[in-house]
Amino acid sequence: MDFAISDELQMLLKKARTFVEQNLYPLEPEFFEQGFAAVEPKLREQRDKVKQQGMWLPQIAKEHGGMGLSLLEHGLFSAEIGRTPLGHFTFNCQAPDSGNMELLLQYASDEQRARYLQPLLDGDIRSCFGMTEPDYPGSNPVWMGTTATKDGDDYVLEGRKWWTTGGDGAAFCVVMAVTAPDAPPHLRASQILVPMDTPGLIIETTTPFMGHRGESWASHSELRFENCRVPQSNRIGPEGAGFLMAQERLGPGRIHHCMRWIGVCERAFELMCQRAVERHISADRPLASKQFVQGWIAESRAEIDAARLMVLHAAWVIDNKGAKAARDDISLIKFTVANTMMRVVDRALQAHGGLGVTDYTPLAMFYRMERAARIYDGTDEVHKLSVAKRILRQYASEDAAR
């Protein structure tokens, strides 16, 4: 297993970090105080600069206008731009658009590519993904109430979705809906492209979370479908393959999330160390002289490094052996990195004292926005149970063979 970083990649990572520090960090105060909509015009200017510098779409193949990075390379890149909550949007590799791009690249028809994919790759539009529902547990994703019933050449959608990230201002939604209710659970749902201006698609609200609603891409919408009619040609891929297609995007998607979280960890760690040496608790004693703080710094450095290596290992397995071979690794990194991030951010926040809970640093935003990391893309508990069962089955088989 080779995690060696080429000189070319090292230069790219340095270039990305410099861009983030010089161009995006200065926009953070306005974002924290006034919201995403206030900085979005400036971010679009920064997107143009990203394109000019050849760092657009790091997760997409060169033939489609991207950088063509491997999953492992994109993971390292993602950690650099993940140091700011504005990073992934600026480089056009933000969730849920990045996952929708990959879905459309693999399954979309030529017509769907022209109407939905190309503008998404160009950054001219945004998308959202409608899967989670308020009336059904996200821990059982094959159980959902939204239906798409055939009527002539159309599907008629009925149901509700929530935590639809970026629904405010999106051009279309990739909707998971039951199309074959009598089929086996994993073959009941399909993925359907629904333009957001379709009659019968109602954005009920943007969900308030941790005291904030957000807007535009940095928000989560609650959608209702009432007699919402779209052509059957808007379906992506085979009918009934929605869940299987969603599973395909989850493995790489979790690498993206986890390496972004590593970026959050690194930013929080840097802020904690800077605070420790700059903040004095008396005329001749900095905060760094306290053993508690020294312990936080040592533990955080060790945990971040361990988490980073776990994610890179999982990315390497996906790149070289496929997502199925990395199933356990993907589950392990999901809850390990999410919890590492929350511990590091919490320590950094504590080291800052009262300043830590203000919006004068990114720590408070990291704390409130990223707590959901232990829930979305599979709760910690579900991942732990799944990987433990697979490990125990292996031992049971070995015991039976003796």
pLDDT at residue 65 in the model: 96
CA-angle at 258, arms to 253 and 262, nearest 5° = 150
pLDDT at residue 378 in the model: 81
Count CA within 13 A, CB hemisphere, residue 346: 8
Long-range Cβ contacts of 148-151 (<8 Å, 24+ apart)? 148/175, 148/177, 148/178, 148/179, 148/190, 148/192, 149/179, 150/179, 150/232, 151/229
pLDDT at residue 246 in the model: 87
In the chain, list all ranges with CATH 2.40.110.10.
127-238
Annotation: CATH topology of 7-94 = Butyryl-Coa Dehydrogenase, subunit A; domain 1 (1.10.540)
pLDDT at residue 56 in the model: 98
The label of the residue with tokens 């292996």 reads: 394
pLDDT at residue 317 in the model: 93
> pLDDT of 51-68, one tens digit each?
999 999 999 999 999 999
pLDDT at residue 402 in the model: 65
pLDDT at residue 5 in the model: 81
* CATH superfamily label, 244-401: Butyryl-CoA Dehydrogenase, subunit A, domain 3 (1.20.140.10)
> Is the CB of residue 30 less than 8 Å from the CB of residue 38?
yes
Based on its alpha-carbon atoms, the radius of gyration of the chain, rounded to whole angstroms, reads 22
Cis before 96 (ω within 30)? yes
Q: What is the dihedral of CA 11, 17, 18, 24, to 10 degrees?
A: 150
> Is the CB of residue 212 less than 8 Å from the CB of residue 206?
no
pLDDT at residue 157 in the model: 98
> pLDDT of 75-119, one tens digit each?
999 999 999 999 999 999 999 999 999 999 999 999 999 999 999
CA-angle at 353, arms to 21 and 218, nearest 5° = 45
In the chain, list all ranges with CATH 1.10.540.10.
7-94
Annotation: CATH topology of 127-238 = Butyryl-CoA Dehydrogenase, subunit A; domain 2 (2.40.110)
Count CA within 13 A, CB hemisphere, residue 190: 24
Q: Flag residues of the chain having pLDDT under 50.
A: none
What residues have CB less than 8 Å from 384, skipping those under 6 apart?
331, 335
In the chain, list all ranges with CATH 1.20.140.10.
244-401
pLDDT at residue 181 in the model: 94
